[in-house]
Amino acid sequence: MADIPENAITEKFLAGSGPGGQNVNKVATACQLRVDVFALGLAPDAYRRLKTLAGSRMTAAGELVILARSFRTQEANRADARARLNELVDAALVRPERRIKTKPSKAAKARRVDSKKARSSIKAGRGRVRPDQ
């Protein structure tokens, strides 16, 4: 789990939609979390992966915006937003495994060509029959 410095996070509470009944119009329960990505001190490749994973949630100024409004209380929405932020950063820190290039063996290539020739002869036999001249 990534350690996210508190000075990189700013929280703002908004009047949210969703569950809450009449309370939703009166109380600002939705949590908008803004994170300065540069303050996280990520490696360049991790930053690139985070930018890709975040998509439209990342601003041009390098801020990651997470909006949590699934719950009725500020505390629950705050916890949800922080959990989602941690998941995103953790996913960005995981380095993908390098793909090892492979190539088919000579026998596999020969089998492929043989099956193509067989299929070709089957299809050639379906052509229009011409009377012998």
Torsion region of 55: left, alpha or beta (phi above 0 gives left; psi -120 to 50 gives alpha)? left
Average pLDDT score, the chain: 87
**pLDDT tens track for 86-102:** 999 999 999 999 999 99
Question: Which helix (DSSP H) or strand (DSSP E) does residue 32 occupy?
Answer: strand 30-36
pTM: 0.68
Domains, the chain: 6-93 (3.30.160.20)
Q: What are 16-42's pLDDT values in tens digits?
A: 776 666 766 778 888 999 999 888 888
61 neighbors 38 (Cβ within 8 angstroms): no
| CB-CB contact of 57 with 37 (8 Å) | no
Give, for 75, the enclosing helix (H) or strand (E): helix 74-93
Share of the chain above pLDDT 90, in %: 50
pLDDT of residue 129: 77
Nearest-angstrom CA–CA distance, 71 and 80: 9
